[in-house]
Amino acid sequence: MSKVKTAPEAARLVASGATVAVNSSSGLLCPDEVLKALGERFLAEGAPRGLTTIHPIAAGDMFGTMGVDHIAHKGMIARIIGGSYPSGPTNAEPPLIWQRILAEDVAAWNVPSGIVFDMLREGAAKRPGVLTHVGMDTFVDAEQDGCAMNASARQMPLVRRVEFDGQTWLHFPAIHPDVAIIRASTADENGNLTFEQEGATLGAMEMALAARNSGGIVIAQVRRVAAQGTLKPHDVRVPGILVDVIVEAPDQLQTTATPYDPAISGELFRPLHTFRTPEFNVSKVIARRVAMEMRAGWAVNIGFGISANVPRILLEEGHHGKVTWVIEQGAVGGVPLLDFKFGCASNAEAFVASPHQFIYFQAGGFNCSLLSFLEIDAEGSVNVSRLSATPHRTAGAGGFVDITARARKIVFSGNFNAGAKMRLEGGKLVIDKEGKIAKIVPKVDQVSFSGRRARLQGQDITYVTERCVIRLLEEGLTVTEIAPGLDLQRDVLNQAATPLHVARDLRQMDGRLFQPELMGLEL
């Protein structure tokens, strides 16, 4: 019998009460046609109801790929475990899934992406769950939020502290999906899957294994179907023995707002001069200062935000290739992309499965991570995962907690406060109007990264802003550099909502950061 079915036929195979795992990262690999058909079936029939959905990284976005919003109808999802969630501008209407979460219609957890993949792996192997130190002393910890995003989730604890082999661990249960919905470029008639036009594989193989070994089914959305026996075996990333249903979707987007870019999938290498470099502004000053922390030969993880521009700083300074960039979606090397294409890279050297990338991150195998911050508190803890006033502005933690758990060196970057009006003039930073919202606070709204634990582990932590550089030292947050043109007391210390220490050898930030010309950066 043919494995090729229409999306509505595939949707009919999902039963009420099922646990459904979805392999996606925003628009990247999102099986949108299958999710759309599921939502349409629910609207027509009222089924399937009461689903538990699993999303190691967000399914869909706010920019054209609805993803999980297709199935975010009241009553359709009962529980959702997500490493991240669709996010977007403050002034935009929240995604439907956020509306369900905030209305307590859905019990929701924000579990670090790497741990979600670990939970699926343990389910596939029929082991009793995940023991990890990732997330200790953060919102992930059972002694804090236990990953719960709302009151409904708090009534059903997901994570607990346990003692094993003389140590305290966090325990997460194994996940046993009834359905895995994945996506690829090509399927042959036997269901063998290749990913030649994709910018990652994410956790497709691991998710398919978890469903198959749990007695479930695997639905694969693809751009095209080939004759059996025509795919090269080394190109097959998920074998047909794991795939039950193939849904052909020739118009599927490659990633968010992107029909197809062969450089994302490594089918073409772009000339370096075609990559946009940052315009000269305050954000570029921050990215330049972060770039000064880099060393030739390093493998460096980068996250969304200002730090995503650091590869472009090295590119324009003539150092492309001296640092290898690694991102959680799986790309190694090349030039990580920006904006809608974030999570992809052009000219990559390799694509690693996300679960393997997270093993690399969780154990601190890389040299440094460059990440953003929403808030920093007196202990040096960082919040990136929750904004109580506008929850959908942040995607949640994603891989942030996995990446920071044991990273040897972390450079956080962001503006010193929110809402300030600033400009660069004559090699100096000029503040025309102060911001009204402090980002350095006594206590962060949610602990995504624990400064206390970082000090105990001996991690090297730096915070780079346009006004100053702060390091997490034994005595606490310590200002070590200040921008030219600023008054320490008026422009830095008075604008923090918690006291800061000042280094005895306080220095001025490198003047080249504040000039439009190339810096002559050395690594």
What are the catalytic residues?
328
- Residue type present at position 327: I
Tell me if 145 sits within 8 A of 170, measured CB to CB: no
In whole angstroms, what is the distance from residue 120 CA to residue 54 CA?
9
CA-closest candidate to residue 373, choices 461, 432, 260:
461
Tell me if 253 sits within 8 A of 64, measured CB to CB: yes
Distances from the Cα of 127 to the Cα of 116, 175, 307, angstroms: 14, 10, 38
Within a 10 A sphere around the Cβ of 232, how many other Cβ atoms? 9
In whole angstroms, what is the distance from residue 121 CA to residue 473 CA?
38
CA-closest candidate to residue 333, choices 427, 404, 269:
269
- How far the first Cα of the chain sits from its last, in Å, is 59
Could you tell me whether strands 476-482 and 421-425 are parallel, antiparallel, or unpaired per DSSP bridges?
A: unpaired
> What pairs with residue 482 in β-bridges?
468, 508
Residues in the chain, total: 523
Q: Is 186 helix (H, G, I), strand (E, B) or coil?
A: strand
| Dihedral angle computed from the Cα positions of residues 88, 92, 96 and 98, in that order, rounded to the nearest 10 degrees | 60
Cα dihedral sign, 313-432-391-64: negative
CA angle 394, 113, 62 (to 5 degrees): 35
Tell me if 241 sits within 8 A of 209, measured CB to CB: no
Tell me if 376 sits within 8 A of 477, measured CB to CB: yes
Within a 10 A sphere around the Cβ of 431, how many other Cβ atoms? 20
Tell me if 104 sits within 8 A of 148, measured CB to CB: no
**Tokens 């229409």 map to which residue?**
6
Tell me if 120 sits within 8 A of 155, measured CB to CB: no
Report residue 233 as tokens.
């075996």
CA-closest candidate to residue 351, choices 145, 197, 192, 187:
197
**Tokens 């004759």 map to which residue?**
227
Q: Where are the beta strands (DSSP E) in 304-386?
A: 324-326, 331-332, 335-336, 345-346, 350-351, 368-372, 375-377, 382-383
In whole angstroms, what is the distance from residue 28 CA to residue 258 CA?
9
Report residue 115 as tokens.
């741990």
